[in-house]
Structure 1
């Protein structure tokens, strides 16, 4: 038996996860996504494709993949989009190719998307590799405070985000895990724990079958 044949199944033999984070605006999803990648820089962030024009400072392939309507629709028709939506006349979506390559190489891919995008991915061809986590605020009053104090939006935009928040919160039960973000450090720790445990899911370890067969062969050789 060679050294490779006799070695135990390790982390390097696993498949990657599609880690989906969703929450109402202001609940801390983007901060947690950033911290998760700081914890493990090997996690790949899914870069969306869009048909809108680049804004000042945006970089192709880093902020978005900028494509025309014809190419985007072709990708959708050919099943090359994991999820997509039309937002204010422009298409946005997650190309399948880079995600497939990453998970086949054992790298996790992080999605910062809403419940509609999450639902499409969970119903799609890569659903077996999905880990979905919904982030809840500790209270509606705290959610409003966070949106107001971060100073990024006008009062009208804050009001619109608050009106939309309950529609998003009502989808909490569709996710694998739900975390109440009442303490950022504690929520981050729990999120890291979830990802670490899910990486050991049986379906994420394609080398297990070969390992069990080797154990069986060794066992039969002993008897």
Structure 2
């Protein structure tokens, strides 16, 4: 009986130690923040590394010349990030009262962080968590499409735009317009990896879409085709990562 009792104590001690080793004292927001974030989506800009122990490293990248600053960080009020990168003659004492940087933060996803200056909300920036490979990130894409309509009469035109969420499921939004001699439509959507449209109008409109263009947030064309045939009630979907499309 004594051996059984001692065995139970040993097991409980092991479980307790394991729990202490795996649990983090950081809040959920702090856990999301831990890691290295870059001001450029291709990771060639300035970087901020937030360590679990509250230390931080800021690397300023000026045309390939890296200058490193060591400091500390802390989250206050759930969504305010304060950082302190002292000069050689500055002390860490009461640094929270006069931080180098103070920003509101918001995570778009696990790998995208939006910040706005605590004292000036118009001063904003986006940081990207370094990863390899990186999952698709939500960003704005503009889809433009055009084609033919009735040369003699206008008809109501209902357009359903499609874009995907973080889990890959398609989401839709409907816009009402009208046909003309030419159909020219455009919309900017926030999507992860897919963007598309479907249009509905009277068969008498003779409508047909033959040109589709997709631009990224930098206004660069990532897809363009002018020899398509998207008929009424057909769905066009462009897969961004695969650079492919479907018409169904």
TM-score range, shorter chain: under 0.3
* Greater per-residue helix proportion: 1
Q: Which has the higher contact order (CA 8 A, sep 6+)?
A: 1
| Structure with greater Cα Rg | 2
Which structure's residues are more often strand, by fraction? 2
Per the normalisation by structure 2, the TM-score is 0.23
